Amino acid sequence: MTATVEENALETARGLVEVCRTGDLEPGWGEAAWIEGTQVAVYRTQDDGFFAASHHCPGSGAKVMARGILGDKTIDGTRVPTVACPLHKEVYRLDTGACLSAAAAPLPVFAVHRLDDTLWMEAGQ
Ligand code: FES
């Protein structure tokens, strides 16, 4: 993946790390990415929302969350994007990481910034 001069300048100025191009992600699916030595699950929802979370399921530590099942749930009248772990199907909010299906540990989620067709994460998240 090649970053442009402008992108490299942005990374330096804001402490951002390039994740991928938006076109690298298929709507309704996730992909695993290696970001600063950490496995991150990066998702693109059907309505072009972009999210990132730990690739490790908080339930077992299994590195499976990029293969999770994307969906949504209406909470207090607001639709929130979700991901279900592919193993035991615990459901997590993609915006906050809260587990919706059990009193379980949250899924660590990370801020994603979109600049044109490139996704960035803050360094050191
Ligand atoms: S491994 Fe993810 S819910 Fe059990």
Using 50, 70 and 90 to split pLDDT, how confident is the model at 125?
confident
Query: Residue 2 pLDDT more than 50?
Result: no
Render pLDDT for 50-83 as a digit per residue (tens, 0 to 9): 999 999 999 999 999 999 999 999 999 999 999 9
Asked if 108 contacts 9 with a C-beta cutoff of 8 angstroms, the reply is no
| 100 pocket-lining for ligand 1 (C-beta < 6 Å) | no
Distance CA 111, CA 95 (A): 9
Looking from the CA of residue 65, the nearest atom of ligand 1 is 2
Q: How many CA atoms lie within 13 A of 35 on its CB side?
A: 25
Where are the domains positioned within the chain?
Answer: 3-122
Q: Burial code of 95-108, b = ≥16 C-beta within 10 A, e = fewer?
A: eebbbeeeebeebb
When the pLDDT of each residue in the chain is averaged and rounded to a whole number, the result is 91
How far away, in angstroms, is 9 Cα from ligand 1 center? 39
| 90 pocket-lining for ligand 1 (C-beta < 6 Å) | yes
Higher pLDDT, 56 or 8: 56
Distances in Å between the alpha carbon of 56 and those of 9, 28, 45? 31, 19, 19
Which candidate, 114, 109, 110, 106, places its Cα nearest to that of 122? 110
Residue identifier of the C-alpha nearest atom 3 of ligand 1: 88
Percent share of the chain, pLDDT over 90: 84
Q: What is the mean pLDDT of residues 29-58?
A: 96
Cα dihedral sign, 30-72-52-66: negative
Query: 3-122 — its CATH code?
Result: 2.102.10.10
- Ligand 1 probe mutation, 55, 63, 69, 90, most atoms within 8 A of CB: 90
Distance CA 18, CA 77 (A): 34
How far away, in angstroms, is 88 Cα from ligand 1 center? 4
